[in-house]
Structure 1
C-alpha cells in the first residue's frame, strides 16, 4: 500500500492525490504539515530532511519532491501510458512543463495565493501581489497559446503536465483578481473540473 504524508490543503500534495485517482492507485494518507505538524519530528526528517510535504513510502522506498513523485508513480503504475508517454520527445515535452511549473509559475502564484488566503489583510503587500499577478498572467497566456494544439497541454490526452498546472489553475480562476480573457485556458479548466480526481482533490475551498 502506498503511503502519502501530507495535508490535503497543500498544492503539492493535491498533485499526488489527483495522480493517484487518475492511475487507480490505492493509498493511505497521513496528515502532516501546517497545523498537523509532524514534519519536524525525527522520524519524518529521516524520510524527508526538507521537512516539507508530500513524502511517499512505497514498500521500502521513500521519495520526496512532488513532481518526482508523479514521475515515479507514472513509471511504476502506468509505464508507457499517456500520462507520461514512453516516447522520449513526448515525455520531454510533458516534463518541461512540469519543470516550468516549478521554475516559473510557482513563485508568482504562491505570492498571490498567500496574499489572499493566508495573510491577514492589514499585512498584505498589495504592490508585490499586483506584480505577481501580472507575471502570472503572462505565464498563463503561454499555456493558453499552447492549448491551441489540443484539449490538454500536451495534446489529446491528460498528462502529468496538466496535473501540475491544473492545481494552480484552480487558484488562478478562484482568487479575487482580475484576469485577461483566455478562452483556451478557460475551456481547459472546465475540462479539468469534469475529472473525478480533480473534483475530489483540487476543486476545494482554499485554505
Structure 2
C-alpha cells in the first residue's frame, strides 16, 4: 500500500493515524505543498482533483480522505469498533464523518488559514473573528455530543473520532477551543494518548506558516 501526500496535511495525517490503529504497513510518498508532484500528469491520472491523500494498492486507487478511512475500516484487520458491522451504528459513524467534512473542517480551515497561512500584516481582524466564530459553532455541536458519550459514535473509539480528532492538536495549539468546552477538551486529551495521534497528529505545522 502506498499513500501519496505530505505529512503536514491534516487529511493525510488522519489516514496515517488510521493505518497505525489498524497496524497496516504502507509506504508514504511526499506530494503536495512544497513537494509538488500533484501538478504532474501521472498524479492527475490518479486523482483529477490533484489533492492529497491518494491511496494506491495493487492497481486500486482511492482519493478523498474519508473514503480512504472507510476503505481501511473494511479491511480484515479492522476491529468492529472502528467501523461497526451494525448498520445503525455505522450510520452514526458516517454522520459524524460527514459533519467533519461539511461543517467542522471547512470552518477550521478558514481560521487556520488566517492565523497560520496568511502573513500577519495581511490578516483581516474581521475575517479572523468571523472564521473563529464559525469554527466555535462547529465545536459547540461536538461539545453537546461529547457531553453525552465518550466518543462521537458512542462509548467506543472509532473512525469518526479519527476524522474529527485530526483537527484537535492544531485547535488546542492555536488556542481555538473555548475554556467552557470541557467535554471536547476531555475527548481531545483522550485522543492524544493514542500512539497514532502522537505520531501523526501532534506534529509541527511550521512548514505551513507564512513568513
TM > 0.5 fold call: yes
**Structure 1 position 12, deviation (Å):** 0.4
For each residue in 1:55-82, what CA deviation from the matched residue of structure 2 results, as whole angstroms up to 9, or x when unmatched? 0101110000000000001112445611
- 3-state secondary structure, aligned to 2:69: helix
What CA distance in whole angstroms lies between the structure 2 residues aligned with 1:11 and 1:66? 10
**Does the residue aligned with 2:166 lie in a helix, a strand or coil?**
helix
Give, in angstroms, the shift of residue 23 of structure 1: 0.5
Q: Which sections of structure 2, spanning at least 5 residues, go unmatched? A: none
Instruction: Output aligned runs, 1:123-138, within 5 Å.
Output: 123-138=122-137
Residue deviations 1:94-127 (CA, integer Å, cap 9, x gap): 0011011111112210011111111111111221
Which residue of 2 is the match for residue 148 of structure 1? 147
Q: Offset at 1:156?
A: 2.0
Show structure 1 runs of 4+ deviating over 6 A.
Answer: none
Tell me what 2:166 maps to.
167
Q: CA RMSD in A?
A: 1.4
| Residue pair 1:4, 1:54 contacting (<8 A) in 2 also | yes
- Pairs within 5 Å for 1:26-105: 26-78=25-77, 81-105=80-104
Question: Relative to structure 2, which stretch is displaced further, 50-59 or 180-189?
Answer: 180-189
Q: Deviations over 1:13-39 (max 9, x none)?
A: 001000000010100000000000000
How many residues are treated as equivalent by the alignment?
A: 206
Aligned with 2:49: secondary structure? Answer: coil
What displacement does 1:149 show?
2.7
Cα separation, partners in 2 of 1:178 and 1:164, compared to 1, 3 Å: closer
2:74 is paired with a residue whose SS is: helix
